[in-house]
Structure 1
């Protein structure tokens, strides 16, 4: 995740020094430094000043940071998140939707769907269980033309799935 994205400046916007300081802390946390929780980022407030960062651009970037922090946090450290039961995981996997890759290269839809079907079969006991390690080591063919899923969305989902399967 790039927290160092160039943010547009607006006539009145969030204080650039305050935003930059928070983004630096988030970047360090994502690189293994001192932790920053998603709740901390969500609770952050900035002064509105002249020639500050565009509010909407900052809010959007912080939403992405929060998603990334949640995805990387072990489930046991996520407040209010009980242990995931197989039935819940199955429903969650079945309801997962990924954007199409459009004109960019993307993961082969058939490969991703087949892998997720294998995970579900394992959770149901109809096939050998798929481990968190299997999820982390999964690889899919990349298609340039044809049906493909957005790679980043699939990767984010797989990080969350691996974390859920660890518990």
Structure 2
């Protein structure tokens, strides 16, 4: 069982310990629950003299990656190539910046695409095609932004690519 720093206001220690015990049972014995999705949706009460939230979150994200890796079928060379190609495609996209037409905030769009790539790399929880379709960005009224039409078309194609691929 990991040791977390206790801080003035942090996560309820008993709740965190119970979830970690269940996660360790899955990783050690192959128990069916909790899944990576269960861990992601877990919430803890914030109490006086609880575990440091950042330390717990970092630990849990590492365990989520392990749980996700166990849930996926063994990777094939074709799958890795598909993921690599998808990552290259996302990283190479260039949206026209405009000051005239309807536009999205550049930083928000870039940060969202970085989250998609991090999920494909396994460094963060993966985003689904539904997450991509539901992506919403702040509209820029003054200054430069990405053309909304171009971003929306790209995200539509990205959602289709995630649906069609074996990446989930």
Which TM-score applies when normalising by structure 1? 0.49
Q: TM-score normalised to the size of structure 2? A: 0.49
